[in-house]
Structure formats: structure tokens, C-alpha cells
Amino acid sequence: MFAIALAYLCVGTAAFAITVGWKISAHTAGVAGPTTALAFVLGVWMLPPYALSVVIIWARVELGAHTFGQADAGMLVAVVVTSSVCIAFHL
């Protein structure tokens, strides 16, 4: 649980740091990060929920809140940071 909480803290910090210079989607990060953590803990059968990230990316772009790059970057940052923390803690 500590590693998952730390991963979420790191994703939030990374998203905030990037948003200072370039707007990044915290919504897509908020879905992709926990999905990645669940995939590490519960296995590959947790990969289909990444489809939610695709829906969130579409919604953020359709609403005009983000460009595709900003929404996609939110997902990418969350996956990379969460994966790094999970690997560091051997999850």
C-alpha cells in the first residue's frame, strides 16, 4: 500500500511540475496511474482497464480542455512514474 501511495504522490508531483510550463491532463494520469499499479499487483488481467484512459483522453480533447498531446502525456507520465516506483519496490 505504501508503494502505491508513493507512486500516486510521485505522479501528482510530476504532473504539477510539468503543468507549470505545459498543461498536462491530471484526469488521464489519475486513471492510468492506479491502473498501472493494479497491473503490477494483480497481473496482466488488469490491462483492459487502460481502455478507460482512452475514453478519458477522448473526452478531455472533445471538451477542449486539452490537446491530444497533453492528454496523452498525462497517461504516459503516470504509467512511467508508477512503473518506476513499482519496480523500485519489487511489486
Question: What is the full per-residue pLDDT of the chain (91 aa) written as tens digits?
Answer: 888 899 999 999 999 999 999 999 999 999 999 999 989 988 888 888 889 989 999 999 999 999 999 999 999 999 999 999 999 987 6
pTM: 0.90
Backbone conformation region of residue 23, classed left if phi is above 0, alpha if psi is from -120 to 50, else beta: beta
Residue 57 parent element (H or E): helix 50-62
